[in-house]
Amino acid sequence: MTREKELRLALVCYGGISLAVYMHGITKEIWRLARASRAFHAGTTPAGGSQGVYRALFQEIETETGLKLRVLVDIIAGASAGGINGVFLAQAISTGQSLEPLTDLWLDSADIEALIDPKQAPSHRFSKAWALPLAWMAARRDTIDATVEPGAREEVRAKLSHFIRSRWFEPPFGGERFTGMILDALDAMAAAPREPRLLPNGQPLDLFVTVTDFRGHPERLTLNSPPEVVETEHRVVVPFSDHGVTGETLAHPAELAFAARATSSFPGAFPPFMVGELDRVLTERNQSWSERGTFLKRILPRQAAANAAESAVLIDGSVLNNAPFRPAIDALRERPARRQVDRRFVYIDPHPGGAIHFDTSEAKTPGFFQTIIGAISELPRQQPIRDNLEDIAERSRQIERMRTIIAGIRPEVEKQVEDLFGYTLFLDSPTRARLTAWRQRAQAAAAKSAGYGYAAYGHLKITGVVETIADLLHHAGGEPGPQRWRGIRAHIAAAVTARGFDDMKPSFAGGASATTIAFLRTFDLGFRLRRLRLLARRITDLEGDQPEAELAPIRDAIYASLADYLECKRTDRYAALRKDVRLLRGDAGPLLDKLAAAMDLKALDERTEERLAAAFAGLTREVKRPILLSYLGFPYFDVATLPLLQG
């Protein structure tokens, strides 16, 4: 019997100025991989070329290991050349449209002569004849010969001459031309034959495109003295999501064109982007954009609040955020999971064959213009991604530490559970009622055995739940900035205290108060997720020793339940609370009640225990024992490890 596993890819597409066509080739190959995976699981014949190779690879993995691998691309973040290609890739994955029509468009429409604004181009072949020596110097033979294949060298020299003889000190490329080209590309994708969406239903695709706000907008910072200062923020992230639903398009074509044009408006090459440019192009094409105001308010909320969104000046996203890891990492919080998942971040650098040289024999001090250009343009775009990768590596190390600690304390936890219930525990057939009673009994025993340490654990849990609630409501409200998050958190914390949910009197060491227990049962989503993930890891530990046919039902029950709880982290679930969150300025009690009804964790608990009870009933003692001990022992594990996870 085969088992399934998902390889989920989060793409971070680096900005690359002139290598957008190269980036198109890379993203197109990733699209082919996703198509081959979909065809493999659907049992259909994949298209030719590399898709057949990928299909054969999936088949070989299944034959050799019994693992049916599914490759999903569900997070895409990009800047500049990576941003525009990320927009097209996300559109293809979300809708099932094809990237094939874009190759010819890139090669023809993105040609340097096609992009030059007619007003900036040389009027005839003798224009700026005095600049020809500069063109010859730029096209010196050794450079062209080293980087261009023989058949295209003369064409490259001609195009370079045309470019250098265009009008100076003004952007040579036409912004409206480029915007029209992007809309043409989206139209070509929509007109091509369409296949099914490349993600399962319910699995969202999130796209993040970075943009630089040239003038910036004010953001408040909380300090000590003075208590508050205002700084100017220039970084903007344009987010899109299909919320796991198949649609005609990821977003309105005008909105996708807005993001693609703004992120790739390289300073000096393209004029800065303003929404009026897009309006003019849409008018020429007789295209409407009914959600224009809503979109601008979502993307540029500060400017919209000041009635300045129309005059916002946007330039290349890679100026300040060339490798947008952070939004991709933050998107992990809303990922559903119905089977084992292996997450990988894929970093796409558009510098094929790049190398670092330390040639000290001819080391020279950079010249005047080289220093200025490097400081202003080149170096900011080439900042290393080491800090981002170290964050991901630290996250992985933390997970490994937790696994080591859990494995180390497991024998003692299992002994505590067996002493509490006795060996007859494994002779009884678990029902939903029994699982509920056993779980509550184990929770009380863990609190008692932890002593005064349980009070610290309780404080940490309450604080963590309050912050989780603040996160959910902050995302639901859609108001940007950390200051608003802090305000929501303060209102929630005040309501929790007013209702006595944080009753941490000394007796808490022997277990929480009834009001605190009720609060945690209503809102403690993290506890449920940690418990199910512990069970999922225990299943993984057993895979080498137990038959797949026996593990499959309990694994399916665990991941189905995990998916239900993960849905509670998605912003869409709380869309009806948006207005209430935005109006929150005082008592948060009524809003807490509405959030509790929207989460409905008690109903999820009942469904989860029904699934688990049904799955436990079919297990042999050798499989049931370690899984049941992990389920009932989870409160002991959580008391020991939650402080190490910092909540």
Nearest to 260 by CA among 198, 317, 199, 340: 317
Residue 542 main-chain phi, psi, to 5 deg: -85, -10
Within its chain, how far is the Cα of 627 from the centroid? 32
Q: Which 8-state DSSP code applies to residue 270?
A: B
d(C-alpha 279, C-alpha 273), whole Å: 11
Name the least confident of 137-146, 166-175, 550-559. Answer: 137-146
CB 276 within 8 A of CB 310: yes
The residues that bridge with 116 in the sheet, in sequence order, are: 173
d(C-alpha 372, C-alpha 378), whole Å: 9
Name the pLDDT band for 37 (thresholds 50, 70, 90).
very high
Residue 133 main-chain phi, psi, to 5 deg: -60, -35
What b/e string do you get for 151-173 counting C-beta neighbours within 10 Å, with b at 16 or more? eeeeebbebbbbbbbbeeeebbb
d(C-alpha 543, C-alpha 67), whole Å: 12
- 210 in helix, strand or coil? strand
Name the pLDDT band for 605 (thresholds 50, 70, 90).
very high
Name the pLDDT band for 507 (thresholds 50, 70, 90).
very low
C-alpha distances in Å from residue 460, one per residue of 168, 601, 645: 62, 20, 10
pLDDT tens-digit series, residues 443-483: 989 988 888 788 888 889 999 999 999 999 999 998 877 88
Within its chain, how far is the Cα of 586 from the centroid? 33
d(C-alpha 406, C-alpha 412), whole Å: 10
Cis before 253? omega within 30: no
HSE of 174, CA atoms in CB hemisphere, 13 A: 20
Nearest to 633 by CA among 468, 425, 475: 425
HSE of 477, CA atoms in CB hemisphere, 13 A: 23
Name the pLDDT band for 223 (thresholds 50, 70, 90).
confident
* Model confidence at 136: pLDDT above 50: no
CB 4 within 8 A of CB 22: no
pLDDT tens-digit series, residues 269-307: 788 999 999 999 999 999 999 999 999 999 998 888 888
